[in-house]
């Protein structure tokens, strides 16, 4: 990922799912296959004390898979074969290989966990996922293959995140505005956010500013204890923004705006 070969689709997928479940993603960090660097990120996470930290990648059988070694070193938990992980790995190879189910070192590696870590079944791939708790932070350690990550997350962690996020509902919509510049929209955005608390409006300039194809996407989002309430706030904000957009044109031409 740090050589630009692969897009970070896992971070985007997880961020979207967690937000929809009412959670809030505060930080994403990408580092390479380096035990020392991964370890220093893990210790930084402990200092920030999030409810949950999710890692992805580095659980496979090859030498470049170093996540569990990094956990072991950073949290001073010795590595040892996890019996439940070993059972999962064995049964996987029994299913996909006939005869060749020998527990070679690369296969044992996938069941070698830091002390106290728990194995979570991987319905798609071979390496089990892992959970462990350190200083009150729940670590969810997922494989990097997107199909595996998504299946394990859906099966084993969505309900946990829904529960921890205390049923906050997230609602979002976008409005595309042509024929105005971002600097002209700025004071209107400020007024709408002032008048309708709980609504967040983020502007994204697309194309070239001031050109024919140039436009601004205004992304409205709100969170509330009820989905209806967050939706209501967004609709109010959209209405007020449309009014301000209409008034902004001296000659009563309404600026072009629409839903993407």
In degrees and rounded to multiples of 5, residue 250 shows phi and psi of -60, -30
Spell out, one character per residue from 135 to 174, where the chain touches a copy of itself: x when CB under 8 A holds, - when not: ----------x-x----------------------x-x--
Orientation angle between helical segments 146-156 and 9-20, nearest 10 degrees: 20
Find all residues with CB under 8 Å of 166, minimum gap 6, and list them.
Answer: 22
Q: Is 193 in the site for a copy of itself (CB under 8 A)?
A: yes
Q: Contact region for a copy of itself (CB under 8 A) — 62-70, 131-139, 225-233, 235-243?
A: 62-70
Q: Is 240 in the site for a copy of itself (CB under 8 A)?
A: no
The DSSP letter of residue 56 is E
- Which residue in 43, 164, 167, 187 binds a copy of itself (CB under 8 A)? 187
**Contact by Cβ (8 Å): 158, 235:** no
Based on CB atoms, which residue is closest to a copy of itself, 126 or 132?
Answer: 126
CB of 80 to a copy of itself, least distance (A): 20
| Of 137, 133, 123, 152, the residue nearest 57 (C-alpha) | 152
Total residues in contact with a copy of itself, by rule CB under 8 A: 74
Return d(Cα 167, Cα 160) in angstroms, integer: 11
Based on CB atoms, which residue is closest to a copy of itself, 108 or 115?
Answer: 108
Find all residues with CB under 8 Å of 22, minimum gap 6, and list them.
Answer: 161, 162, 165, 166, 167, 168, 169, 170, 223
Q: Contact region for a copy of itself (CB under 8 A) — 152-160, 198-206, 224-232, 238-246?
A: 198-206
Q: Contact region for a copy of itself (CB under 8 A) — 7-15, 132-140, 152-160, 238-246?
A: 7-15
C-beta neighbour count of 52 within 10 angstroms: 17
Spell out, one character per residue from 100 to 139, where the chain touches a copy of itself: x when CB under 8 A holds, - when not: ----xxxx-xx-------------xxx-------------
Q: Is 259 in the site for a copy of itself (CB under 8 A)?
A: no
**Contact by Cβ (8 Å): 125, 143:** yes
Q: Is 3 in the site for a copy of itself (CB under 8 A)?
A: yes
């Amino acid at each position: 990922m740090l050589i630009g070969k692969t897009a970070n689709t896992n971070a985007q997928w997880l961020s979207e799912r967690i937000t929809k479940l009412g959670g809030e993603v505060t930080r994403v960090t990408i580092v390479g296959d380096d035990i020392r660097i991964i370890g220093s990120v893990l210790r930084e996470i402990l200092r920030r004390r999030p409810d949950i930290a999710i890692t992805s990648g580095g659980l496979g059988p090859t030498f470049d898979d170093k996540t569990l070694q990094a956990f072991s070193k950073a949290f001073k938990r010795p590595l040892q074969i996890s019996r439940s992980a070993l059972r999962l790995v064995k049964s996987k190879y029994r299913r996909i290989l006939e005869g060749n189910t020998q527990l070679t070192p690369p296969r044992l590696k996938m069941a070698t966990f830091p002390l106290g870590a728990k194995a979570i079944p991987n319905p798609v791939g071979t390496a089990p996922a892992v959970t462990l708790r350190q200083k009150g932070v729940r670590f969810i350690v997922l494989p990097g293959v997107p199909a595996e990550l998504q299946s394990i997350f859906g099966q084993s962690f969505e309900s946990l995140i829904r529960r921890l996020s205390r049923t906050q509902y997230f609602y979002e919509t976008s409005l595309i505005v042509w024929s105005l510049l971002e600097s002209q929209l700025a004071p209107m955005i400020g007024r709408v956010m002032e008048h309708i608390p709980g609504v967040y409006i983020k502007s994204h300039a697309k194309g070239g500013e001031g050109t024919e194809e140039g436009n601004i996407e205004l992304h409205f989002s709100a969170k509330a204890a009820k989905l209806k309430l967050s939706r209501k706030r967004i609709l109010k904000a959209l209405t007020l923004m449309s009014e301000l957009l209409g008034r902004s044109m001296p000659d009563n031409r309404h600026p072009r705006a629409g839903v993407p």
